[in-house]
Structure 1
Amino acid sequence: MAIIITDECINCDACISECPNNAIYEPDSEWALSDETSLSGTVTSPSTGEEIDADEKHEAISDEFYFIVTDKCTECKGFHDEPQCASVCPVDCCILDEDHEETEEQLLAKKVWLHGE
């Protein structure tokens, strides 16, 4: 599963530097899959098989609190033993996203897709 940030977020900034996938964004920030990953141009999504523009800017998912881009979240698989955002969050608002279940194999494949490693 990907991680989500709930509306209990206090915008403390503790999580953003901990994310190895650069999947966490400040409130009201545009985002792209290519932001600080190896993705660029047209890529094929590992989850849907669709071709997408990795450089396309998307609207913020939240304008009130930090947010995690599901397509970039790997729960830190391949980097750490546990999600780093959840481990540093002082208010425990980084939780598993029940709506986006993924196996460890899928999460590791996403890591390779994002970073080419």
Structure 2
Amino acid sequence: MATHITEECINCGACEPECPNEAISEGDDRYVIDPNLCTECVGFHDYEACQAVCPVECCVPDPERRESEETLLERARKLHPEKSFPSVADLPSDLSRFRSAKKK
């Protein structure tokens, strides 16, 4: 599922520079995430970078847009054709929150 930013956003902008896909932009009342660009940081981190820096914890998974690890990784490949991503089976736990959650 793509991440989205809730109404609790205080418009601080901490999340925007953290996104490896440039999916976050300033909206009218709060920052917004383009779900077509969001990969939940799969292929980049084992956490969602926007969540990690948000002071009010308003960057949360969108329950209306559930997506698999494979879908998110494929999106990352399309967005970053210059970068080499491993297959889902070979994706290390430090590049996917799906994998890090399974370790715990």
Same-fold status (TM-score > 0.5): yes
State the secondary structure of the residue aligned to 2:36: helix
2:10 maps to amino acid: I
Which residue is 2:56 aligned to?
A: 91
| Deviation for aligned residue 1:98 | 0.5
Which residue is 2:6 aligned to?
A: 6
| Deviation for aligned residue 1:21 | 0.2
Which residue is 2:24 aligned to?
A: 24
Q: Does 1:100 align with 2:65?
A: yes
TM-score computed with the length of structure 2 as normaliser? 0.77
Which residue is 1:82 aligned to?
A: 47
| Deviation for aligned residue 1:66 | 0.3
Which residue is 1:69 aligned to?
A: 34
Structure 2 counterparts to residues 27-46 of structure 1, below 5 A: 27=27
Which residue is 1:36 aligned to?
A: none
1:74 maps to amino acid: T
Is there any run of 5+ residues in structure 1 with no aligned partner, and where?
28-62
State the secondary structure of the residue aligned to 1:70: coil
2:65 maps to amino acid: H
Which residue is 2:93 aligned to?
A: none
CA displacement, residues 33-52 of structure 1 (integer Å, 9 cap, x when unaligned): xxxxxxxxxxxxxxxxxxxx
- Equivalent pairs counted in the alignment come to 82
Which structure carries more helix by proportion? 2
Greater relative CO, 1 or 2 (CA 8 Å, sep 6+): 1
| Deviation for aligned residue 1:80 | 0.6
CA distance in 2, matches of 1:99, 1:17: 25
CA distance in 2, matches of 1:6, 1:101: 17
Runs of 4+ in 1 over 2 A off after TM superposition: none
Which residue is 2:98 aligned to?
A: none
